[in-house]
Amino acid sequence: MGHPAQERRTRLLGREGEDVTGAAADGQGAGARVARGALGACYNAPMDPAQAPGPTDLPRELRVPAELAGVRLDRALGRLWPTVSRTRLRALLEAGGVRVDGAPAGRASSAVDAGARLELDLVRLEPSTRPSEPGLAMRVLFEDADLAVVDKPAGLLVHPSPAVRGGTLSEQAVARWGPLPDLQGEDRPGIVHRLDAGTSGLLVLALREPAMRELLRQFREREVKKTYLALVHGEPRFDTGWIEGAIARSAASPERMEVVAEGEGREARTWYEVRERLGPASLVECQPQTGRTHQIRVHLASLGHPLVGDPLYRPRQTPSRRLAADAPLPARQALHAARLEFAHPGSGERAAFESPLPDDLAALLAHLRGA
């Protein structure tokens, strides 16, 4: 497999073919391989927490006062809705439950204007006792004093959300290792990066704060190499290439993300290589250079090749070759985080971890190969 920088570079902001510009160690779990190198007006009014209103008592909409003009969106929300925790406001932002002047909110760090109308989806703020799917547990592949690498099954939520609490991966981690650093939020102990609930595969957790700070730096500086395997509808035009397209939350469907014009969303780049062409579907390897919400799912869908089983990003038209009626379709998107490589925050040595395809995706792949 060639290095991404040496492969054909394809700029795709919409349909495929448009604007083509050229070009771990001890504790290892069964089935996983570890490769190591040398190793309003009252926004600031105090309130008695015991008298804090519930979600249904909160104002749904408030205007940004002049005093908050230019303040970060997440901080403005915290000042305007002081009885809602920062963690819940952040989760609401990420889930598309905040709107600014009628449109889905952008980045948490974006500045707000005086007079801007901020709206909260109060339904999503209602407390819930619904736990994550029962019976789902992370599998620990490696652990030491600094970090742990785990294999997440599809269906397991990485951390609590406004809708789900109990049994999530971060809560399982605390139950195993005790208090963990929460630099990403009080509801995200140990969490350095995330996978969608329906995506399976590898995650690194930080067990100590210095390790978390270093791992976060590596992700921020794009020094972590992440490799995913995906089963997509159809056959991509090119064997390999870059997908470049800014991503933003959909105004029509806030639970979805979409590729938008440059300058209207956050930069996103994904390198892909077709590993196998299987008629009605293809096995594709993806290496995202950025880490946007739903990035691989959105980018592949923008090519006209959405993930098999993806409930959000379905084919825009009937595929020319459909999967057989007896195909063992997965009950989630066919995406697996298969390899994770980073520098150990303690020693600086590069470490790579691999996870094989889980049973549901392996069964579909075997079916396609035998069709």
* pLDDT tens-digit readout, 119-173: 888 666 655 445 566 679 999 999 999 999 999 999 999 998 766 778 899 999 9
- Helices 86-94/73-80 angle, 10° precision: 130
- For 327-346, what is the mean pLDDT? 97
Q: What is the pLDDT at residue 162?
A: 65
Rounded to two decimals, the pTM is 0.70
Q: Among residues 247, 251, 249, 294, which one has the least CA distance to residue 266? A: 247
More confident residue, 244 or 187: 244
84 pLDDT exceeds 90?
A: no
42 pLDDT exceeds 60?
A: no
Q: Is 360 left (phi over 0), alpha (psi -120 to 50) or beta?
A: alpha
196, 326, 359, 360: the active-site residue: 196
Output the CATH code of domain 7-34+131-370: 3.30.2350.10
Range among 107-111, 186-190, 339-343 with highest mean pLDDT value: 339-343
How far is residue 228's CA from residue 287's CA, in Å, rounded to a whole number?
A: 6
Ranges of each domain in the chain: 7-34+131-370, 59-125
pLDDT cut 90: percent of the chain above it: 58
- The token pair that represents 351 in the structure block: 């470490």
How far is residue 6's CA from residue 261's CA, in Å, rounded to a whole number?
A: 26
- For 281-307, what is the mean pLDDT? 96
Q: Which residues contact 359 (CB under 8 A, 6 or more apart)?
A: none
Check the CA dihedral 54-56-60-63 and report its sign: negative
Q: What is the pLDDT at residue 180?
A: 96
- For 257-275, what is the mean pLDDT? 94
- For 278-287, what is the mean pLDDT? 96
Q: Side-chain half-sphere of 242: how many Cα atoms within 13 Å?
A: 21
1 pLDDT exceeds 50?
A: no
User: How do 103-104 and 98-100 pair as beta strands?
Assistant: antiparallel
DSSP string, 108-175: TTSBPPTT-EEEE-HHHHS---PPSPTT---EEEEE-SSEEEEEEPTT--SS--SS--SS-HHHHHHH
Tens digit of pLDDT for each residue in 85-105? 777 788 788 878 898 998 888
Q: What is the pLDDT at residue 12?
A: 33
- For 28-49, what is the mean pLDDT? 35
14 pLDDT exceeds 60?
A: no
How far is residue 362's CA from residue 209's CA, in Å, rounded to a whole number?
A: 37
- H-only helix segments in the chain: 73-80, 86-94, 122-125, 169-177, 209-220, 295-302, 359-370
How far is residue 312's CA from residue 333's CA, in Å, rounded to a whole number?
A: 9
- The token pair that represents 312 in the structure block: 């959000």
How far is residue 246's CA from residue 318's CA, in Å, rounded to a whole number?
A: 26
Q: What is the pLDDT at residue 2?
A: 44
pLDDT band at 321, cuts 50/70/90? confident
Q: What is the pLDDT at residue 124?
A: 62
Q: What is the pLDDT at residue 46?
A: 36
How far is residue 247's CA from residue 314's CA, in Å, rounded to a whole number?
A: 17
51 pLDDT exceeds 70?
A: no
Q: Mean of the per-residue pLDDT values for the chain?
A: 82
Name the fold adopted by 59-125: 3.10.290
Q: Which residues contact 351 (CB under 8 A, 6 or more apart)?
A: 24, 25, 34, 35, 36, 37, 39, 341, 342, 343, 344
How far is residue 212's CA from residue 206's CA, in Å, rounded to a whole number?
A: 5
How far is residue 161's CA from residue 121's CA, in Å, rounded to a whole number?
A: 14
How far is residue 70's CA from residue 318's CA, in Å, rounded to a whole number?
A: 47
Active site residue 48: no
Q: Side-chain half-sphere of 248: how many Cα atoms within 13 Å?
A: 16
